[in-house]
Every structure is written in structure tokens, then in C-alpha cells.
């Protein structure tokens, strides 16, 4: 389990804290929404797919922790080649993903796409208010600052070892998120107001090929603007997600190359099945 990380370093400035309790849940083909229509705030219009199925969108809240976390885990395991390279299993990610979900849902930026009582898609977005940006992402840029340069360790082993609990895949993912996030502040534009940070997007396989990911992403970005955000960031670790970010016009602030991700002298990401070569920290302007 992942507890509060007390270790600090010049690369990350401390790890994030996540709550740990994870209820057991049998995996199903669909993740089923047990809540009644009207319990959540609906957002946007009902979206009708080419085959006639209708998708309604609702804003997830704290009562949806299990629903969102299980979708988060399922999507990450299915679509992320670095997890396959580490032979990661659901139990490796449970504490980390549940903790992130509990931390993110209260900001109100996560959308669920529901077909009847089935979760067809979701987009998890964290809103970070301007007065919390430095706490979350390190010192902000100032007028006249030189062009920022990311700092990476030559070997990530010490950082991974410093995460006191959790499986090896969970500790690796924690470091991979923390190293870029803790340096984001100096890359943010001077006109930043509030930041939306996209943590995950996933479309159930039986709803793919309907541009549903594009639709829910656009809808969530509209919601972010309404919540005072003028930029959106994300970290893409898979080749497909990096291509989507590029297609949307996001700027790559910097990359963490997989061919330089050494752990105690061993390169752990080689010849990934999707051809991914780096994780990217991306930023887009919201209109």
C-alpha cells in the first residue's frame, strides 16, 4: 500500500500522498453504474452514436470513487505498454489509482459517459487553482526567467526505492508521474489562471470507433473553461495518447525518454509493443 511519502529529492521535491483502502471488486465486461439517474449533475446534451445508442454525460463526485477507479485501472492496464513491460496486474495498481481518484474527484472535473447503466467512457480531470499551482507543480516561471530545462536523474533506482510501500510497478508509475509534475511550474505560461490536468481518458471497447473519446474530451475542456481554467496539461505515456495530444495541438513541454530510464543500471522499457519511446508532458490552451 502507498502511504505518505516522506522522502524528498532535488528532482521531485517530495512525493504525493494517497489514501490506501481498496475494496475488492470482481472485474466485469462492463463497469455498471448503480446510482439512479438524477443523483449526479448532468452536463451537456445526450450524444447519439451512429448506431443509435445514446450517451448521457454526468459529473462524477466522491461517491463514484469505486466506479471511476476501476475504469481508471482497467484502461491503464489495457492500453499502457509500460505496464505490460513490467507485467503489472490489477493488484499492483489498486492503491495508487484509488488514491489518485479520491484526490481528484472533489475538484469536479471528471465526466462519465453512460449508456443506460453502463460506463461507456470517462475523462478524469483535476482542477488546480492558481494559488495551489506552486504547491502542486513547483515554482512558477517569472518574467525574464531563462528558458526552463527539465532535470532528470541518470538512474531512477534511488527515487523508486524511496517510495516506501507498494509493488514495483506502482512505485515506478509514482516516480514517473512525480518527476515531471514537480517541474511543471517553471514551464507554465505567465498568463496561467487555473490549470486543468487530464489524468486519464478511456472508452470501453464496445463503444470505440465512434469518436466518443474526442467528444468527451471536448466536453470536459468546455467544463474546465467554465471552471476558470485557461490551460490544460497531461502526461502521455503511450504512443496513441501522445498522438492524440499532438493532433489536438498540445505543445510538448518536455519528454522523459524510455531509453534513459535506468533502474539500478538496468533499462526496463525496451521495444514496447506500441512503439512508445518516451512519456511526454503536454500543455494546451483552452479557448
Encode pLDDT of 98-154 as tens digits.
Answer: 999 999 999 999 999 999 999 999 999 999 999 999 999 999 999 999 999 999 999
User: For the segment 250-273, what is each residue's pLDDT rounded down to a tens digit?
Assistant: 999 999 999 999 999 999 999 999
pLDDT of 123: 97
Q: What is the pLDDT of residue 14?
A: 52
Mean per-residue pLDDT for 73-100? 93
Q: Is pLDDT above 60 for 23?
A: no
- Tell whether the model's pLDDT for residue 29 goes beyond 70: no
3-class DSSP string for the chain: CCCCCCCCCCCCCCCCCCCCCCCCCCCCCCCECCCCCCCCEECCCCEECCCCCEEEEEECCHHHHHHHHHHHHHHHHHHCHHHHHCCCCHHHHHHHHHHHHHHHHHHCCCEEEEECCEEEEEEEEEEECHHHHHHHHCCCCCCCCCCCCCCCCCCCHHHHHHCCCCCHHHHHHHHHHHHHHCCHHHHCCCCCCEEEEEEEEEECHHHCCCCHHHHHHHHHHHHHHHCCEEEEEEEECCHHHHHHHHHCCCEEEEEEEHHHCEECCEECCCCCCCCCCEEEEEEEECC
pLDDT tens-digit readout, 39-83: 999 999 999 999 999 999 999 999 999 999 999 999 899 889 999
pLDDT band at 31 (very low <50, low <70, confident <90, very high): confident
Tell me what the mean pLDDT of segment 12-26 comes to.
Answer: 41
Average predicted confidence (pLDDT) for the chain? 89
Domains of the chain: 41-285 (3.40.630.30)
Amino acid at each position: 500500500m502507498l502511504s505518505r511519502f516522506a522522502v524528498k529529492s532535488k528532482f521531485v521535491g517530495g512525493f504525493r500522498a494517497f489514501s490506501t483502502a481498496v475494496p475488492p471488486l470482481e472485474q466485469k465486461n462492463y463497469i455498471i453504474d448503480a446510482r439512479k439517474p438524477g443523483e449526479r449533475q448532468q452536463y451537456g446534451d445526450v450524444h447519439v452514436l451512429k448506431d443509435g445508442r445514446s450517451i448521457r454525460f454526468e459529473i462524477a463526485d466522491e461517491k463514484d470513487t469505486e466506479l471511476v477507479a476501476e475504469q481508471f485501472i482497467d484502461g491503464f492496464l489495457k492500453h499502457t505498454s509500460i505496464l505490460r513491460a513490467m507485467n503489472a496486474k490489477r493488484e499492483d495498481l489498486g492503491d495508487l489509482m484509488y488514491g489518485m481518484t479520491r484526490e481528484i474527484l472533489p475538484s469536479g472535473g471528471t465526466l462519465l459517459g453512460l449508456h443506460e447503466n453502463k460506463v461507456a467512457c470517462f475523462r478524469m480531470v483535476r482542477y488546480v487553482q492558481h494559488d495551489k499551482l506552486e504547491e502542486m507543480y513547483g515554482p512558477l516561471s517569472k518574467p525574464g526567467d531563462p528558458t526552463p530545462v527539465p532535470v532528470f536523474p541518470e538512474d531512477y533506482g534511488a527515487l523508486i526505492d524511496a517510495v516506501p510501500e507498494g509493488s514495483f510497478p506502482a512505485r515506478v508509475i509514482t516516480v514517473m508521474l512525480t518527476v515531471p509534475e514537480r517541474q511543471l511550474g517553471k514551464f507554465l505560461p505567465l498568463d496561467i489562471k487555473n490549470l486543468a490536468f487530464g489524468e486519464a481518458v478511456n472508452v470501453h471497447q464496445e463503444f470505440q470507433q465512434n469518436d466518443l473519446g474526442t467528444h468527451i474530451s471536448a466536453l470536459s475542456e468546455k467544463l474546465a473553461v467554465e471552471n476558470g481554467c485557461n490551460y490544460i496539461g497531461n502526461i502521455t505515456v503511450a504512443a496513441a495518447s501522445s498522438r492524440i495530444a499532438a493532433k489536438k495541438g498540445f505543445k510538448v513541454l518536455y519528454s522523459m525518454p524510455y531509453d534513459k530510464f535506468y533502474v539500478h543500471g538496468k533499462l526496463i522499457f525496451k521495444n514496447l509493443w506500441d512503439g512508445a519511446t518516451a512519456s511526454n508532458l503536454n500543455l494546451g490552451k483552452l479557448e
